[in-house]
Structure 1
Amino acid sequence: QLTLNGQPVGPVEVPDDLAMIDYLHEHQNLTGSRLGCGQGICHACVVIVDHPDGTSEEVRTCITGAHYFEGKTVRTIEGHAQVDEAGNLTLNPIQQKFVDLFAFQCSYCAPGFVNAATVLVESAQRQPLKQSEVEQHIETSLGHHICRCTGYVRYYEATRTVLNDLGLVKEG
């Protein structure tokens, strides 16, 4: 039982050894989280776990069992964009800036990068970043994600732009 993209799910029985990525793909038809390395190295599979205190973190779903998420609030890449009553889609600021700046090539890694940048932006909304520390925060947040197309410069640029556009960077 968990909250998935704002909706309660379960309780549902799943095998003890079921990886969360398999649960998302096979039981929830949410295929945006990508299975890359299967060893927790590339981070293409990450989802966001939201904590009751308002903080959030990335969790790799290829190496984390579905049972770990029991009672947790989880956001997948599919949970970021909003659809209004007329069916119009509005991307979150990170997604939109990634599109605007053509930040991805094949896009296989994009869900992981979007989730990582989203966690960073939300953290900065609680505690704005010092200008002198922005690059280090971006590197810490996105640096462990692997992009085989080497789109890092554009991912970093898009994240930096969103932080600045939202006024989340202060002098210092």
Structure 2
Amino acid sequence: MANRPLQLTLNGQSVGPVEVPDDLPMIDYLHEYRNLTGSRLGCGQGICHACVVIVDNPDGTSEEVRTCITGAHFFEGKKVRTIEGHAHCDESGKVTELTPIQQKFVDKFAFQCSYCAPGFVNAATVLVEKLQRQPIVKSQLEAVIEDSLGHHICRCTGYVRYYSATRDVLLDLDLVKEG
């Protein structure tokens, strides 16, 4: 199996170059090379979305990418955020503040078994960032939430709480306009 160097920005830190097998999935790179195990291997087929990370594009947009079906080398030179990169931490690494999405998910007890939680946090974060650039009208709110979170699978059926928490954050951050 051939190796080649991989270099990327991961949670704000430059990483690499490090020799990585050509066919290594990103989820395995995160777990085995970086000890970032928050992204979960659920289905292994790109269906459940428990494994998604956020890629920050050069144009300022962000998007979810499934790491179980995407090779690590796809991320060469990209800016990637994992679930571990969301909360604010002090110098020692201790969490000092959760993001609004994380906090609202906790407040609403959206996390049940929490296996799918990293994917939902990343999806809701991408939605918040999208709406910060282009707010929506209230009549579109439910459809936009469904479009953003609907492809994530929760085996504990925590959808109601995830959707409710996301709705509350969007309204709290004034990303939804009357009309």
TM-score under structure 2 length normalisation: 0.94
Q: Which runs of 5+ in 2 are unaligned?
A: 1-6
State the superposition RMSD in angstroms. Answer: 0.9
Instruction: Please tell me whether residue 29 in structure 1 is matched to residue 32 in structure 2.
Output: no
The aligned counterpart of 1:167 is: 174
Q: Deviations over 1:81-104 (max 9, x none)?
A: 011347452111000000000012
Q: Deviations over 1:129-159 (max 9, x none)?
A: 1101011110000000000000000000000
Aligned length: 172
Q: Deviations over 1:97-135 (max 9, x none)?
A: 000000121000000000000000011111111101011
For residues 8 and 84 of structure 1, the distance between their equivalents in structure 2, rounded to whole angstroms, comes to 19
Instruction: Please tell me whether residue 19 in structure 1 is matched to residue 25 in structure 2.
Output: yes
The aligned counterpart of 2:144 is: 137
* Alpha carbons of structure 1 residues 73 and 127: separation in structure 2 relative to 1, 3 Å: same
The aligned counterpart of 2:53 is: 47
Instruction: Please tell me whether residue 147 in structure 1 is matched to residue 167 in structure 2.
Output: no
CA contact (8 A) 2:55 2:63 kept: yes
For residues 95 and 73 of structure 2, the distance between their equivalents in structure 1, rounded to whole angstroms, comes to 34
Q: How far apart are residue 171 of structure 1 and its match?
A: 1.1
The aligned counterpart of 2:84 is: 78
* Structure 1, 76-85 or 63-72: larger mean CA deviation: 76-85
For residues 88 and 161 of structure 1, the distance between their equivalents in structure 2, rounded to whole angstroms, comes to 23
Greater share of strand: 2
SS at the partner of 1:24?
helix
Quick one: percent identity of the two aligned structures?
Answer: 83
Instruction: Please tell me whether residue 118 in structure 1 is matched to residue 108 in structure 2.
Output: no
4+ aligned runs moved over 6 Å, structure 1: none
Q: Which runs of 5+ in 1 are unaligned?
A: none
Q: How far apart are residue 33 of structure 1 and its match?
A: 0.1
The aligned counterpart of 1:65 is: 71
Structure 1 counterpart of 2:109, one-letter code: F
SS at the partner of 1:13?
strand
SS at the partner of 1:38?
coil
Structure 2 counterpart of 1:2, one-letter code: L
TM-score under structure 1 length normalisation: 0.98
